[in-house]
Chain A
Amino acid sequence: MSALRSPLHAVHDERGARFTEFGGWDMPVSFESIRTEHTAVRSDRGIFDVSHMGEIDVTGPDARELCQRLLTNDVDALAVGDAQYTTVTTEAGLLLDDTIIYRLEDDHYRFIPNAGKHTSMVERWESHREDWSLTATITDRTHDFAMLAVQGPTAIEHVDGHVAPTICELDPMTIARVTITGVDGWCATTGYTGERGVELLVPWDDAETVDAALEGTRCGLGARDTLRLEMGFVLAGNEFDPEHEPRTPIEAGLSFVVDLDAEPAFVGRDALAEQAATGSDERLVGIRMLDRGIPRSGYTITDGDGAELGHITSGTMSPTLGEAIGLGYVSADRADEGETVHVRIRDADRKARIVTPPFLEADDE
């Protein structure tokens, strides 16, 4: 099957993008250089095409109930115009996806599955709707919308010059209907970089018009990855994956988006309640290298004396800090901040320290 393409693919190509396959999509990995793009987002702003993210609309009188029963966070906490980070788990409490859900209107929710997950999420919502005899309408809008993330300290001010009404008053984690360069769309104050910024949802066929109006450093998935890693944000497929890295939100450090008391209970609630009570065997931690070397996905974490404690799920050289950082799972009894561990890099155990993300403090910028 050939890879899916964003409506901006040709525009990126003209700008000299290098492409990579990600979640079944052929997307820019970098334009000029990952470091340049990363730095632009931390100091000014960057523009990312994130059209590989899915959009699924759930509407109707019992849309809320259906979402509440399939998402771990409390959907009832959402007023119209709010956004919420949440996860989707199996009956066993294992992560299938993490997502942002927006409440657009009273009975209209939209959530953003990760690349390549939109079809399985639609099927999941549909099959549970039948199981529970609900009537909500579920619509895959993935190919209706392009998504552009404008992120960085100057992002909101810049986008505000192109939208009506103003977005300067929007609180973080909200969404508003806007006109962007004459195009009807949505502006959400969400992102995946740790910076202030917005994510714009615009009709697929108008993506070029909106993109052309925006000025800033064009960024690819490479910088998106280093930016999220500096914040300790998990990446589907790395920190959890139903096949290769089956994890619960509790293990993955996402307990803050699990509401065990929300009604009606979500799929996976009982398994997670049990794990919350007994504790998990392993826990996701931040890793900061003390010896030379860069932790990479799959590397073994050891105690330095031959015993394996866990493994790395993501790692890179932090462009902001100039230090090698990573995320990984280790035994819960060795997961405390400040604990010294080792990462086995090319057969040598190299010293590292366990830290609590984010790696980047406000004064590092």
Chain B
Amino acid sequence: MSDEVPDELRYLESHEWIRVDDAAGTVGITAFAQDELGDVVFVELPNVGDTVAQEDQFGVIESIKAVSDLYAPVSGTITAINENLFDQPELVNDDPYGDGWMIELELADASELDALLDASAYAEQIA
């Protein structure tokens, strides 16, 4: 399961995914990334209303052993954060493309999506 790369998502080389529905995007980290990190024990997320720029850091994820930065696949304004991760950070391990999502944002510029990897390019990167 750790090599699952859903077709409908776009990816950053730093292992974040984004699912886009009109101008709204949902962001998380890939199955590969959570597997590399190991047991996720802490997630730090921005506040709703914050703005982020493409490839800027938007948060931090920590496993038992390691600390990693989280990067925004696109620019936008944060519209929701997954507060469940504060009490259940293991959701990132259990369901990285579902309940383990991290932020929702309103895209500032949909054309930024063109710079992201598609599923086959990302799959190739982690192969």
Contacts and interface: CB of A to CB of B under 8 A. Distances in A.
A316 B67 contact: no
Interface residues of A, number: 17
Interface in A26-52: 29-30, 33-35
Contacts of A29: 65
Contacts of B63: 34
Interface of A: 29-30, 33-35, 222, 225-226, 292-294, 296, 316-317, 319, 324, 346
Contacts of B86: 292
Contacts of B39: 33-35, 319
A29 to B, nearest CB: 7
A319 B39 CA distance: 10
A226 B39 CA distance: 12
B118 interface: no
A100 B20 CA distance: 58
B41 A317 contact: yes
Interface in B85-107: 86
B55 interface: no
Interface of B: 38-39, 41-42, 44, 60, 62-65, 67, 86
A318 to B, nearest CB: 9
Contacts of A226: 64
A35 B64 contact: yes
B60 A316 contact: no
A263 B30 CA distance: 61
A233 B67 CA distance: 23
Contacts of A324: 42
B40 to A, nearest CB: 10
B42 A34 contact: no
Contacts of A225: 65
Nearest to A226: B64
A48 B85 CA distance: 32
A319 B64 contact: yes
B38 A317 contact: no
Nearest to A20: B65
Contact of B65 (A293, A316, A346): A316
A294 B62 contact: yes
A237 B38 CA distance: 23
Nearest to A324: B42
Contacts of B60: 346
A220 to B, nearest CB: 10
Contacts of A317: 41-42, 62, 64
B41 A294 contact: yes
B94 to A, nearest CB: 12
B38 A222 contact: yes
A292 B85 CA distance: 13
A222 B64 contact: yes
A293 B38 contact: no
A292 B39 CA distance: 17
Contacts of B65: 29, 34, 222, 225, 316
Contact of B67 (A292, A296, A319): A296
Given A292-B42, A294-B41, A34 B67 contact: no
Given A292-B86, A296-B67, A34 B38 contact: yes
Nearest to A348: B44
B52 to A, nearest CB: 16
A294 B42 contact: yes
Most buried by A among B41, B44, B60: B41
